[in-house]
């Protein structure tokens, strides 16, 4: 495409049409000029395709914090290549990820999507992911630019961030990604930043992103994250998503005619889209290309490798791990027979498959026994797991109608089976439906395996009623209570009970009306046009009975794996967690099992930290995040030593939520969220305040041991070795000049008897700085595989740093980065914990300089 020639041929009406989506996932096509429609797709841990509801199965990667815990840029780049190929299989040219916001608090609903609390770790991994995705020709879209670090009132809240914290913490991951990988698109965040919505923030989009950093790609809004016409277009928001537009079309034309928007500005916005269309033209796909899968043995093997690489061995006293296959084994807990493969919200997708921890462990020990022990569902489990559709297939049948249930003899416009009774219909399309208001029935048959009281539930963005054998059991229509569901715009869960007889089929029917009929309007929630319904159901359980059975089983075996944690109900887009605690019953389960069996391994799955009041009473703890398709296999590989664990925490693990630096600064106060901790986010805060954590940032154990030797720091080719044993520093390097390069070198020695990988972490401290600085800041890292023996057990390494990025701070007075004259200490270790970090060298910068840009 000749972008300028094509732009010149477009009418003003056509230009404006190009600046918004036509539906939930696609841009506008202009056939007369051969301008195709582009498909966008989520997301951060896999490529869903063009349907949130009942989509084509996809590869589900480990969640963002799990990818962060790999600390492995090569592996993350390989994951990006896989995601690019998955996008092509789904006919998507633009992939909406990675998510690289910062976890200020463990309670952030989307914390699991992002890589790390640390901007350098997040930025380097994001750059690797973007490079991998774009190597396939697919556009990567880092998000959310910027300051979307919690979900409460996310569309209206104002992130009040000091200029220094904005630059050094929240923008820095995006800056590193732009410097190293040149993404072809960015997505704006929902929130305001210092009083102005990100999607209409001239300083962010034009001043920093385009002018200072030199970005020349596409800026797309978050879904329903556009709030104006002229302001957003003038600020640099190219495309409003989703469509059909709420803000552009005739309103934008009126803004041009009234001179609120100059037509050359419209041209700039269209030019960005045309450039993107041109850049992806080599993919050879269109929105008419059928969506397919890449479900191959090679895909499965790589997903398993990535999930295992991010699994973190937090504790291993007495050599409990690795487990022995010849020992009798029990697996207990709510996450054992359930695959917690992903968090919720836009990260959610329909996986090719999902392996539970129980299944993974049984592959090593087929005789493994199981007990539930406790439940951890927030809402009732999906009823579709217990039902069959009228044709006998697993799941339920959904029928779509244009008329309400009161209309006699109505005929469905479409009927199909579903295997997941979480039905979010916003991107559902049918040619007979021309409005967001329509109706549905969902039907399935349940055959109880015992006499029992069954619980049934409805959560809805719209209206819904549930009937069992013709009797109304749940009414979520007459009176509705606001809840957190459906991105904050849905109802609370309504529950009913009915006694069912063993082996007697019970017919369940749900009648649903879409979102326009809802009685709920929640301020600050993302209003989704069609909405959806979630249908839950399960036998009623007794907590004491479940716990007693688990304890009895634990007494009978040699080794026990307790699988606990959260899932997509607890960590999701649309709401924040209210507490850092595990679901009720989980802590009691761990303590009761540990009291009767000394060989207990606790496997926790969550995207962000949880409290562990029992941590000092169990010998081994493994943190497995949300591991994607291969969740269970990766956990088992680590537990049984097939994989030597090498994951490192991408987040500090506080003892209590009250210890977190943002604890008193996450509530929305009259519209504002004050980022009062400034630059002291995560490990920077805990070190500055000398506050103990349960496990520090960068922590992770191995089944072998490592030692760092012969550490040295080089400045522009000149090198000095590490501090000697008497703690007398070597003469400082580079005192007479401003260095261009820093090189940290040394040997990583495997002192154990197993091959394994260790992460060498490089931190910088600033003893002579004239401004407050953290005790130390992460500036570089490298994951290194080391064999065993005299030759294979030693690896020399070099880690190169740019002094601009390693040493500078942002000056609010100068409005620039300042590379300050003074002394700098280079610290190297295998964790952020002080006892695991030692000084590798000292250098000086002889003259202060300032810089902006990349």
Rounded distance between C-alpha atoms, residue 488 and residue 481, angstroms = 12
Give, as one character, the DSSP assignment of residue 176.
H
714 three-class SS: strand
Rounded distance between C-alpha atoms, residue 797 and residue 779, angstroms = 16
Bridge partners, 459 (sequence order): 534
Residue 252: alpha-carbon gap to chain centroid = 34
Retrieve residue 40's tokens.
Answer: 């966008």
Q: Identify the active-site residue in 222, 238, 587, 637.
A: 222
Bridge partners, 442 (sequence order): 398, 510
Residue 761: alpha-carbon gap to chain centroid = 23
Rounded distance between C-alpha atoms, residue 369 and residue 208, angstroms = 57
* Cis amide prior to 146 (ω within 30 degrees): yes
Whether the Cβ atoms of residue 33 and residue 278 lie closer than 8 Å to each other: no
Rounded distance between C-alpha atoms, residue 357 and residue 640, angstroms = 12
Rounded distance between C-alpha atoms, residue 263 and residue 254, angstroms = 11
DSSP line for 68-108: HHH--HHHHHHHHHHHHHHHHHTT-SEEE--B----SSTT-
Cα dihedral 240, 242, 243, 249, rounded to 10, equals -10
Rounded distance between C-alpha atoms, residue 851 and residue 854, angstroms = 9
Cα-trace Rg, the chain: 27
Query: Buried b vs exposed e over 547-556: b needs ≥16 C-beta within 10 Å?
Result: beebbebbee
- Count of C-beta atoms within a 10 Å radius of residue 688: 17
210 three-class SS: helix
Rounded distance between C-alpha atoms, residue 186 and residue 398, angstroms = 37
Report phi then psi at 826, rounded to 5: -100, 125
Residues 6+ apart with CB under 8 A from 258: none
Whether the Cβ atoms of residue 306 and residue 75 lie closer than 8 Å to each other: yes
Residues 6+ apart with CB under 8 A from 180: 123, 124, 127, 131
Rounded distance between C-alpha atoms, residue 30 and residue 6, angstroms = 11
Query: Which among 31, 29, 15 is positioned nearest to 253, based on CA atoms?
Result: 15
Rounded distance between C-alpha atoms, residue 485 and residue 763, angstroms = 41
Secondary structure element (H or E) that encloses residue 564, with its range:
strand 559-565
Q: Is 222 tagged catalytic?
A: yes
Rounded distance between C-alpha atoms, residue 553 and residue 479, angstroms = 44
Burial degree of 363 (CB within 10 A; 0-12, 13-18, 19+): middle
- Count of C-beta atoms within a 10 Å radius of residue 13: 11
549 three-class SS: helix
Residues marked active site are found at 222
């Amino acid at each position: 495409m000749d972008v300028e020639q094509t732009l010149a041929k477009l009418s003003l009406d056509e230009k404006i049409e190009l600046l918004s989506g036509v539906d939930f996932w696609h841009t506008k096509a202009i056939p007369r000029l051969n301008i195709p429609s582009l498909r966008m797709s989520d997301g951060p841990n896999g490529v869903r395709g063009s349907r949130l509801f009942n989509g084509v199965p996809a590869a589900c990667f480990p969640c963002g914090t799990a990818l962060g815990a790999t600390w492995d840029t090569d592996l993350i780049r390989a994951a990006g290549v896989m995601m690019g190929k998955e996008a092509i299989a789904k006919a998507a040219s633009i992939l909406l990820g990675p998510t690289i916001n910062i976890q200020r608090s463990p309670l952030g609903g989307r914390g699991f999507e992002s890589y790390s609390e640390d901007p350098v770790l997040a930025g380097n991994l994001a750059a690797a992911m973007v490079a991998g995705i774009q190597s396939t020709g697919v556009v990567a879209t880092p998000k959310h630019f910027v300051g979307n670090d919690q979900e409460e009132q996310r569309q209206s809240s104002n992130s009040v961030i000091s200029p220094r914290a904005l630059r050094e913490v929240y923008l820095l991951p995006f800056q590193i990604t732009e410097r190293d990988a040149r993404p072809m698109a960015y997505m704006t965040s929902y929130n305001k930043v210092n009083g102005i919505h990100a999607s209409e923030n001239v300083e962010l989009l034009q001043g920093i992103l385009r002018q200072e950093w030199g970005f020349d790609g596409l800026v797309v809004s978050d879904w329903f994250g556009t709030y104006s016409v002229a302001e957003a277009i003038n600020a640099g928001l190219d495309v409003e998503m989703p469509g059909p537009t709420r803000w552009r079309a005739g309103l934008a034309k009126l803004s041009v005619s009234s001179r609120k928007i100059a037509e050359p500005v419209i041209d700039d916005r269209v030019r960005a889209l045309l450039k993107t269309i041109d850049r992806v033209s080599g993919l050879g796909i269109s929105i008419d290309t059928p969506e397919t899968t890449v479900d191959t043995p090679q895909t499965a093997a790589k997903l398993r490798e990535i999930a295992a690489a991010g699994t973190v061995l937090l504790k291993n006293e007495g050599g409990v791990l690795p487990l022995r296959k010849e020992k009798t084994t029990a697996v207990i807990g709510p996450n054992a027979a359930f695959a917690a493969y992903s968090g919720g919200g836009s990260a959610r997708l329909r996986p090719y498959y999902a392996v539970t921890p129980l299944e993974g462990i049984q592959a090593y020990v087929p005789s493994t026994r199981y007990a539930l022990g406790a439940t951890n569902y927030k809402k009732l489990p999906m009823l579709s797991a217990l039902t069959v559709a009228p044709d006998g297939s697993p799941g339920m049948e959904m029928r779509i109608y244009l008329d309400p249930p009161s209309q006699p003899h109505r005929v469905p416009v479409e009927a199909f089976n579903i295997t997941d009774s979480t039905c979010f219909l916003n991107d559902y399309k049918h040619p007979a439906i021309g409005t967001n208001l329509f109706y549905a029935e969902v039907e399935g048959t349940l055959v109880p395996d015992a006499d029992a009281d069954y619980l049934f539930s409805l959560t809805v963005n719209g209206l819904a009623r549930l009937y069992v054998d013709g009797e109304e059991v749940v009414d979520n229509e007459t009176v509705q209570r606001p809840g957190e569901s459906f991105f904050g715009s849905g109802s609370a869960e309504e529950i009913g009970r009915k006694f069912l007889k063993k082996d007697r089929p019970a017919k369940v029917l749900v009648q649903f009306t879409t979102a326009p009929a809802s009685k709920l309007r929640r301020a600050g929630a993302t209003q989704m046009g069609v909405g959806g319904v979630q249908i839950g159901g399960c036998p009623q359980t007794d907590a004491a009975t479940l716990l007693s059975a688990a304890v009895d089983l634990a007494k009978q075996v040699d080794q026990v794996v307790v699988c606990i944690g959260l899932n997509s109900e607890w960590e999701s887009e649309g709401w924040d967690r209210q507490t850092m605690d595990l679901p009720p019953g989980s802590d009691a389960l761990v303590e009761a099992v540990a009291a009767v069996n000394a060989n207990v391994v606790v496997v926790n799955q969550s995207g962000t930290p949880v409290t562990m009041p029992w941590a000092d009473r169990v010998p081994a703890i493994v943190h497995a995040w949300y591991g994607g398709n291969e969740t269970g296999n990766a956990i088992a590989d680590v537990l049984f030593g097939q994989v030597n664990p090498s994951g490192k925490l991408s987040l500090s693990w506080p003892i209590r939520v009250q210890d977190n630096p943002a604890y008193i600064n996450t509530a929305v106060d009259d519209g504002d969220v004050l980022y009062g901790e400034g630059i002291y986010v995560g490990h920077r805060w805990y070190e500055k305040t000398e506050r103990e954590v349960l496990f520090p940032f960068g922590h992770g154990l191995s089944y072998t041991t490592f030692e760092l030797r012969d550490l040295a720091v080089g400045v522009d080719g000149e090198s000095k070795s590490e501090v000697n044993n008497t703690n007398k520093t070597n003469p400082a390097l580079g005192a007479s000049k401003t260095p261009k390069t820093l090189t940290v070198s040394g040997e990583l020695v495997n002192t154990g008897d197993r091959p394994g990988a260790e992460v060498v972490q490089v931190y910088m401290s600033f003893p002579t700085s004239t401004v407050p600085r953290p005790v130390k800041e992460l500036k570089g890292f490298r994951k290194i595989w080391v064999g065993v023996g005299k030759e294979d057990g030693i690896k020399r390494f070099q880690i190169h740093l740019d002094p601009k990025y390693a040493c500078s701070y942002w000056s609010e007075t100068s409005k620039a980065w300042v590379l300050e004259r003074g002394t700098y200490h280079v610290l190297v270790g295998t964790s952020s914990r002080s006892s695991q970090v030692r000084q590798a060298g000292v250098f000086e910068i002889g003259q202060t300089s300032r810089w902006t840009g990349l």
